[in-house]
């Protein structure tokens, strides 16, 4: 099972005071045991550039995961990787713009370009699940709509950890 963790999950996995910390430790353990392949998008990695202790720990955790190919979305100024790190063709860039519009329309208001980009990278990487605490994506109706449209499940950390205990 290929699982992509969103930025908030990486930060929560590095913060023992987070409510999601226990679930994320189960997920990370499952990754270490080879039960799941844990992946991270460059969109998420770009958000982990601060020098705060929790962010540094989150970056360390992310460094042990598979980095997904980066498929650009947004304007030139919104890019999070260099062109030599980008995957796909100009046609893919155009398709990603259409995907971004569709993801935004299916999610709750307030989804930002980094979350949208990480979700699109997960789609392109043929991930089985995108794990996030963002309610714009993980709440019942948006998660259902996104799964129906793209075939990629959106789960909370607790939702995925529950599957390991089933």
Residue-wise DSSP of 109-142: TT--HHHHHHHHHHHHTT-SEEE---HHHHSHHH
Predicted TM-score (pTM) of the model is 0.84
Do 14 and 54 form a contact (C-beta atoms < 8 A)? yes
CATH number of 137's domain? 3.40.50.1010
Q: Is 30's pLDDT higher than 70?
A: yes
Question: Please, are residues 57 and 12 in contact by the beta-carbon 8 Å criterion?
Answer: no
Residues 100 and 28: their CA atoms lie apart, in Å, by: 28
Structural domain boundaries enclosing 90: 2-165
Lowest mean pLDDT among 33-42, 90-99, 135-144, 152-161: 90-99
What is the predicted pLDDT for the residue at 105?
84
- Residue 60 pLDDT grade (very low, low, confident, very high; cuts 50, 70, 90): very high
Could you give the number of structural domains in the chain? 1
pLDDT in tens, 75-105: 555 655 555 666 666 666 677 777 777 887 8
């Amino acid at each position: 099972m290929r699982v992509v963790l969103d930025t908030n999950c990486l930060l929560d996995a590095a913060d023992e005071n987070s409510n999601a910390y226990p679930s994320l430790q189960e997920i990370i353990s499952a990754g270490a045991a080879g039960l799941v392949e844990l992946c991270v998008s460059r969109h998420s990695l770009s958000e982990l550039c601060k020098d705060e202790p929790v962010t540094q720990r989150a970056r360390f955790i992310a460094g042990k995961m598979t980095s997904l190919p980066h498929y650009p979305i947004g304007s030139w100024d919104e890019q999070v990787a260099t062109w030599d790190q980008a995957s796909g063709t100009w046609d893919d860039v155009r398709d990603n713009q259409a995907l971004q519009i569709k993801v935004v329309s299916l999610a709750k208001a307030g989804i930002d370009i980094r979350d949208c980009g990480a979700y699109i990278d997960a789609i392109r990487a043929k991930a089985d699940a995108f794990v996030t605490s963002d309610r714009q994506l993980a709440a019942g109706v948006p998660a259902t709509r996104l799964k129906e449209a793209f075939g990629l499940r959106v789960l909370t950390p607790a939702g995925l950890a529950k599957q390991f205990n089933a």
